[in-house]
Structures are given as C-alpha cells and as structure tokens.
Structure 1
Amino acid sequence: MLRVLESAGLEAWIVGGWVRDALMCAPGHDIDICCSGSWEQSAAALRAEGIAVVESGVKFGGITAVLDGERIEVTAYRLDGFYTDGRHPESVRRAQCVEEDLARRDFTVNAMAWHPRRGLLDLYDGRGDLERRQIRAVGEPRRRFEEDALRMLRAVRFACRLDFSMDAATASALDSCAPLLDAVARERVGIELEGILVTGRGGDALLRYPELMCAAIPELARMRGFNQRTPYHAFDVYEHTARVLTVAGELSRFRIDGGDPDAPPSPSLMWAALLHDVAKPDTFTVDERGRGHFYGHPERGAARAKAIMRRLSCGNDLMRDVNLLIRYHDQPLRPERVDLLRMMQRFASGGVDVPRLMGELFDLKRADTLGKASQCFYYVDEIERMREMVRELIANGEAYSVKTLNLTGKDLIAHGMAPGPQVGAALNRALEGAIVGEVPNSTLHLLTYLGF
C-alpha cells in the first residue's frame, strides 16, 4: 500500500501503535498509514490498483483500505483546530508534512512513524520512552489533555497495558486536569475504563491516579480514606478495593480455572472487583464496641453498580453478571454439596453461564479475602476446596436447574401427565429432590421419585 500511494506521487508512512508494538517486538494488529495526499487522492490511487476503499472517516481526512482481507486506515496529514468540548476539534485542516501531523498526537510512544526505506522518524524520543518504560505526553501535557480529556484515561490504559510508569509532568497533569473528564461522553469513559480493567492492573490505576479514577466514577471518591473500623480489614475501603483488583488480575494471569493464560481477565470479574464495596459508605454502622459493620452492602452495592454501569453504557449481559457477583460476593458459603448447588441454582435463575460465573465468584471471594487483614487468609483454602467441589458436581452431572435435570416436560407428558402448570411444578419438585440428595439425577430415578 505504501508503494501504491507513493507511485501516485504521494508520501506515506506507517504511524502510531503498529510502530510502537513493532519496536517492542509485540504482535501488531491495527495498521495506520499517514499520507501527504487528501483522502480523495489516496482513494483514487488505491482504487486504480484494484484495492477496495471504504470512505469511513472522510470528515477527518481518513479512509479504510482493504487488501487481502486486511483493513488499513489511511489518513491525510492533518492539524487539529481548537477544542471547545474537551474531546473534538472544531475543525481539521491539512498539514504540510508528517512532522506537523506527529506533533498533534497524544503520547511520544504513539508519535513515531516508520518507512521501509526512510526508517524510523522519532521526533519526541518515543523509542527512548519505550526503553524507559514510561508514558509521556507529546509537548505540554496539560494542553494535550485540555484538547481531548479522554486522553487522560488513554494514558492510564497504556500505562496499565504496557506496565509502564507515567512521566512526572504527565502524571501531575492527570491530577490537575481530572475534572475535565466531565465533558466526555460517559460511553467513551466506560470503554476506556473497561480497557484499563482488563489489563489486570486496575488496582495500580486506583492507587496511582486516584483523582482521575474518581472523576471517571465519582462514587469511588467516598471510599477514599473510609476507615472500616473492623479487625478484619487492614485498609480503608478504597485501598482494599485496589488490592482486590490487583489480586483478581493476578488470578487471571495464573488461570486457576485452567483457561488460556494469555486471555485477558474477564470484564465481569474486574468490574465486580472494582465496584463490590461501592455501597459500604452508605451502609456503615458502628456497634456498642466501636466496631464497624456494613449490613446489606452487597445488595445495595449491586444496585449501585448497575446504575453506574448503565450510566457508562455497559452491555446488559455484563451488568447482569456483575450484579450477581456483587450481590453474592459476601454470601457465606461452605464446602458442602447442597450449599454449593444452591448457589449454582441462584445463578442459573439469572440465565447466566453458571460454571464460568461460579469460577469468577470464587476468584472474587479469594481476591476479597486476600485484600483483608492477614487473619482472614485461612478462608482461601476453603474457597479452593469449594472451587474443586463445583468442578466435580458439574463433571458428575449433578442438577442445579431444571435445564440440568435429566428429565423434561416431554418425559412427564409421555408418562401420562397432562400439559399445563403441573408439568413445571413437577420438574421443580424433582429438582429440589435432586439438590437435597433424595434422588439421583437420572431419568428413571426422577420419574420414580415423582410417582410414575
């Protein structure tokens, strides 16, 4: 594509994240090309060579070219006008050279260009920042964030994803510019927050950039410095939450559930870890001994989390799963068959993937335990016993919902039961018998149990 564009008399470079990832010897995904021509000139040159073009971002001088199934963004050199809404430039105009285009970009590690003949163009020492493992704004950080406030969350996302620190001036600007995030659409904030969480380093984000994270979710601010006044907690609610996020992220890396170790953490687990104690300040009481309690905080927290996530335009399935995890994260559970089947039954009634969500519940419980005082750590062994028991219950075909019963309504009707509400009632009766151990989960035994 570079050859085609330059054969038409244009100048073109590969820019942005692909260059950054290549310098880090990391796999590259999205490819962006920056070109001296207008989008019309680029499109004409590509189409003349039989390359498909989608006019996807012409307002900002961009198109998408499709070659051998690969989608490549091609954008004209550009300069942004004034930003009046903290997110979008009032106008975009053509830049004269690639150097002007790179000057408008957000961070030094994203402001490099590469060409197979001309080599690397690195005006702001982005390669040096990669070696120093730091995120640094191009130019004056405050100006970059005033132009586009969402860049603040992008900075944190990159720092978390790459496990980089933040340049001191950039970090200072994050704190002072945090209120600017109010101008950004909540949906965009939600997308960036999830991007931070699924790096597995959301705990670092909370501790290192508290002003920004509390600007993104104002409900977190009340948790900062909130003394729990209980011997079971060594940290305030905010720091406890950060530690739970960190442990949950680490669990995902070690894949206790046996899954792909390179897969990102589950969004539902990470959102639940972030918001599991969000209602503690609302439910705080102190008993006659001066000890703090948070009665009802899981239920209140589940409702509060749903409101927060709806405000951030999170998906319905994600909100459902997070709601369930938060609602039951503090539910007393014992490594006993009926206790675990009852928990699975509660999840099944919500229409979720029960084995997955049970695994995430144990991950959350374990992380919550390890975020408390050390005297609570004994519970981790019990959590892992329960995790193994659930695996065995599922492998052995134990019933925890009508769908997992080895008996259907058709079976009952075939044995003479008239269609109607009585079929569902019979199935529920059979399920109850199977859960409490009165009857094995086999068709013959279940039919006999129901009197057929």
Structure 2
Amino acid sequence: MGLESTDYVFELMDSLTEAGYPTYIVGGAVRDMLLERPIKDLDVATAATPEELQEHIENNLQNFTYITGGEADKSISNLVSLVNFPNHKKGQPHDIEVATFRIDAGYEKDENGIPDRTRPLLKATKTLEEDVKRRDFTINAMAMDSSGNIIDLVNGQQDLENGVIRTVGKPSSRFAEDPVRMIRAVRFSTRYKFRMDSATRKAITNHLDWLDRISPERMRSELGQVLMNTHGFEELYDLGILPHIMIELEGIKTLRHNPKYHPEGTVYDHYVAMFNEYAGANRGLYEVPVKTQGYGKEDLLAWALLFHDIGKPMSAESSPKGDWFTFYEHELLGSTIFYDNYGSKAKDSPIHFSKNETMAITYTTKSHMAMFWDAKKFGKVTKLVADDNFELLTAVAYFDANHRPKGKYWDDRMEFLKGIRNEVEARSKAEPYPKGFGKMVADGLNLQGPEIGEAVNRIKELVLSGQMPSYEAALQYEIDKMKG
C-alpha cells in the first residue's frame, strides 16, 4: 500500500472516530510495525456497523466509495465492508476491508441440526475489548489508533518482546473455533523464531483430531507456508501434525539410512537437513544452482520435497549388513502413494493439489533417484529432460543430495543432462509440434481418451530423441507398427 493510500486510511479512521465510532488498525500490521518488518496490508476495525459505515461514507466522505453488490454483499454478511479510496483505479481490487467489532455467537447448523464449527455466527459489538477476545494470538491482537498509540489489552507487546506465541485466552477454545490456528501457531513461531508457550503446544498435541475439520484448500495453503520456514518441517512433525495428516510418515525417526550414503542419520534427519537448507536458500541466505520458486504456486517445491521420500517407510527392509534399512524403489512406491492418496483424483485427500501439480509431484517423486542420477540411454534421458517439470525435478534432486556424499556429482550430472536438453530444444525448434496433431494421432491410430495422450508422448520421444525426422514420419511409423 502506497503512502497516499495510507493517508486515506488515517483520514477514514479519524472521520469515523470523530463521529463516535472508534476505529483502529489491528492485527498483523501492528505486529509487523513493532517488529520493524515490512507491512503488506492494513486491517481496520471499527465500532460502526456496515450500515453505519455506509451512511457515514456517503454523507461525510463523498470521495470514498462503499462497495455493494456481488462479493461485497457476502462480505458484509460477515460484518466486513469493502471500501475504495479516492485514488482507486478502475478494474483493481478493493482498497481496504473494514471489519466491524465482532463477537462469536455460536455456529451455523448442518443438515442434521448439529453446530458446524467451520461456520461461526458473528455478532456486532461496540467495543474493541470484546473484539480482541476472539482473535487468535496475543501478538496479533494489538490495535493502533490514527495517532500511533498502541492499545494492548492482552499483553501482546510483552509476548512480542519475549518471542512467545500465546493464544488469546484458553488455547483449546481458540483452536476449537478454528483448527487452522494450530498450524498458524507453527507458522508464526518458525517465521519469527519465537517459541510457543507450553499451554499452546499442549493444546495442539492434545487435539490433533481437530485438524480433520480443515478443508483441503486451507490445509494446502497453511502447511505450505510453514514448510518454507526454517525448522518448519521438524516443528510440524514433532507436534504430531504431519504424521496425523500423512500417516505414511509415521515412524521415520526410527528408520536409519546406510551411513555411507546418508550420514545425516534417519529418514527424519534427512528431511530436517533438506528442508532447512531449502528454507535458507528460499530466503536468500545463500545461493544455490536451482530456483526455489517459479514453478507455479510459491510452495510447490516444498510439497515436492515433502513427498519425494514418502515411499520409504513402506519400502523399508532391515539390512543384514548393518544397523540400518534399505529402501529399494521407494521412489516408485512413493509416486503411487502420492497420486492415489493425495493427487487431484484422490477422493479423500486432506490436501488440495490441481491436476498439473499432481502430475508435477508424481513426476518428481518417481524420477528423483535412478532416473535422474543414473539414466544414460538417450531415449530415457530425452524423456526426462523434455518434461515440463524438469526444472522442478532438478531442484528436488539438488536439495535431496546436496548435504550428503552424492552431492559432489551434481555438477557433472547437470552438465550431461543440460547437454541432452540443449539437443532436445534444438530439435523442438527445428521440428515444431504440429497444430492439431492430437487429432491426427487419434484418427491415424483409431484411438480414444487417454490412449491419445500416451501415443502423442511416444511420438514426441521418437522425434525429440532424433529417432524420427518429423512428427509426420513418427506417426506413420506408429501406424505401420500397428498394422504389423
């Protein structure tokens, strides 16, 4: 938010306060200001109801716009008003959200008449004191008036100074209202390097079953943000959150690797080392030869790293050669586990992934071992490097191997793979993929459904590997082969 827009926020606050509606900046903006961190958004809370706010703007702040209709009406029903400033540019999102002071008034009931804790009922209140009681953590429950005075009713400043994450009121009550707060506690503690107070930690470990109420979309968003933080993985695991959500990861603290290949120790130790290295690189603490973002959603690499070894527990076999386990073909088993249990077609996945993300993570999980490190046949390597998610795979392979002996082969392997990829890209430019080729394949080979895509991929491999001079020639080769 620019300086001019900030001035408009204070103008709105002053005007409402002078009219008898105390108005404050609240939440994360106050926290980040006290921490001297960049402030992304300003959240405003007021004693004015949506109707009072609309009337006040229309009568006293004619250059401001109180938004109605469509999504705005849905927001108003939750006691949150959308407002545009005088400098608002047409076509841009609303400039600010102004929430009426609220208290919880129970929950909506489901079709069986049972209160649904995912759908709280909110009721307007006139005091900041009441509004603060329903907020999640003390460090997020402070307010600031337009003069810069901090209103702290829950000792949030003290917790901020001491580096403590503590809920407002009883932890179990806050988490029962919204179980996402259990994950957000980990997010804030790992982001700011704070510690959770003992009551907050205990409430999380005692109520892991409440996590089952979180929607797959919110689970994806909140967990992904934690995994990108240093010590995020280990906190999620040690609190029991990850083993509860992903039962395949239970017991990884007892699965010791062959120290020759994994001197870091157990599967758990490997995850911790890998995620902490990734988190540091993602924050720019040091340079790495791969991208940490740029693969779609910013957390996609974190998820690909999390699932890359999910097949190890089920493939583990005690080695007769020492006090450690082998995990043969865990990458193949892991890719199946991810696709079947967590992918876009999984019926009961606790985490939401799109179709493209599902294909990406399935590919990186399946390919991060022998396919990435050992494949030498031109056809196999061509298929590997021609995949749209090859760069994501290189990032997974890098963080998987860099902290252990295999990492010393990284430069040589990448030189080989990039050489093949350059050849593939040159052939792609010389022989572009024909427009409407999918239909040509379907008609020529008399195929339907998924078989068309499989045939197109075979033909692409023939052309890009140099085995066929053109797509037309490759298609004719497939037709002749079909005819025998």
When the two structures are superposed, what TM-score results if normalisation uses the length of structure 1? 0.79
| 1:28-427 → structure 2 map (5 Å cutoff) | 28-48=39-59, 49=62, 50-53=64-67, 54-67=72-85, 68-69=87-88, 71-82=95-106, 84-89=115-120, 91-117=121-147, 119-199=149-229, 201-209=231-239, 211-228=240-257, 231-233=260-262, 234-252=264-282, 253=284, 254-257=286-289, 266-286=298-318, 288-289=320-321, 292-306=325-339, 307-310=341-344, 311=349, 312-331=351-370, 333=372, 342-343=380-381, 345-349=383-387, 352-354=388-390, 356-357=391-392, 361-370=393-402, 377-387=404-414, 390=417, 397-399=422-424, 404-408=428-432
1:347-386 C-alpha deviation (Å, 9 max, x unpaired):
534xx254x32xxx33322332356xxxxx3321211333
CA distance in 2, matches of 1:56, 1:71: 17
Q: CA deviation at 1:170?
A: 1.4
CA distance in 1, matches of 2:398, 2:302: 13
Contact 2:424 2:465 survives alignment (8 Å): no
Contact 1:136 1:170 survives alignment (8 Å): yes
CA distance in 2, matches of 1:230, 1:381: 16
1:79 partner amino acid = I
CA distance in 1, matches of 2:279, 2:79: 39
2:186 partner amino acid = V
Q: Percent identity?
A: 25
CA distance in 1, matches of 2:279, 2:378: 25
Contact 1:86 1:148 survives alignment (8 Å): yes
Which shifted more, 34-43 or 249-258?
249-258
In structure 2, the residue matched to 1:13 is 24
| Structure 2 CA distance for partners of 1:325 and 1:102, relative to 1, 3 Å | same
Count of residues paired in the alignment: 413
Which shifted more, 31-40 or 105-114?
31-40
Q: CA deviation at 1:231?
A: 4.9
- Consecutive unaligned residues of structure 1, counting only runs of 5 or more, are 372-376, 411-418, 440-452
| Structure 2 CA distance for partners of 1:344 and 1:163, relative to 1, 3 Å | farther
In structure 1, the residue matched to 2:8 is none
CA root-mean-square deviation:
3.6
Which shifted more, 128-137 or 16-25?
128-137
In structure 1, the residue matched to 2:4 is none
Q: CA deviation at 1:298?
A: 0.6
| Structure 2 CA distance for partners of 1:132 and 1:391, relative to 1, 3 Å | farther
Contact 1:248 1:273 survives alignment (8 Å): no
Q: CA deviation at 1:5?
A: 2.6
Contact 2:257 2:325 survives alignment (8 Å): yes
Q: CA deviation at 1:236?
A: 2.7
Q: CA deviation at 1:82?
A: 3.8
1:73-97 C-alpha deviation (Å, 9 max, x unpaired):
11111111346544332x3222231
2:65 partner amino acid = I
2:307 partner amino acid = L
| Structure 2 CA distance for partners of 1:116 and 1:370, relative to 1, 3 Å | same
CA distance in 1, matches of 2:49, 2:432: 64
In structure 1, the residue matched to 2:452 is none
2:195 partner amino acid = S
CA distance in 1, matches of 2:191, 2:57: 34
1:51 partner amino acid = T
- Consecutive unaligned residues of structure 2, counting only runs of 5 or more, are 1-11, 89-93, 108-114, 435-442, 446-455, 470-484
| Structure 2 CA distance for partners of 1:88 and 1:391, relative to 1, 3 Å | same
1:207-264 C-alpha deviation (Å, 9 max, x unpaired):
542x122223333224343345665345332332232222222333334247699999
| Structure 2 CA distance for partners of 1:249 and 1:426, relative to 1, 3 Å | closer
